[in-house]
Amino acid sequence: MIFAGVAGLALGLHLAALGWRRAMPGLNATCAALILGHLASRLPHILAPPADALLLGVMGFEAMVILAAFLALRGLAWARRLSWLGFGLHALASLAGLVVALGFRLDRLF
């Protein structure tokens, strides 16, 4: 149930940021930093042969989102558009996490 709460909170923050557009780059940077922090704690397992290319790609994407958010805060228009792309993907991932958390129950194996 904790996962559902976290996913719901993330989705709620994304929906609130739609109303307050100045908060979007900060929310993007925060989400990306949390995801990168979690993945960095697992970095030895990610880099162990065979390296997990999907998680390395996610780490690269999140690093790009952080960079775009900081550049958007400095006023660059292209970075703001790139930051909106990251915002939309984070919002969709939060929605998907909430649907999985509330829609699927694994109480028994059989």
pLDDT tens digits for 23-40?
Answer: 889 899 999 999 999 999
Q: State the pTM of this model.
A: 0.82
- DSSP alpha helix (H) spans, 1-110: 2-19, 24-41, 43-47, 53-73, 77-103
Closest to 69 in 3D by CA, of 59, 60, 78: 78
| Alpha-carbon span 102 to 110, nearest angstrom | 20
pLDDT tens digits for 61-89?
Answer: 999 999 999 999 999 999 999 999 999 99
| Alpha-carbon span 73 to 75, nearest angstrom | 5
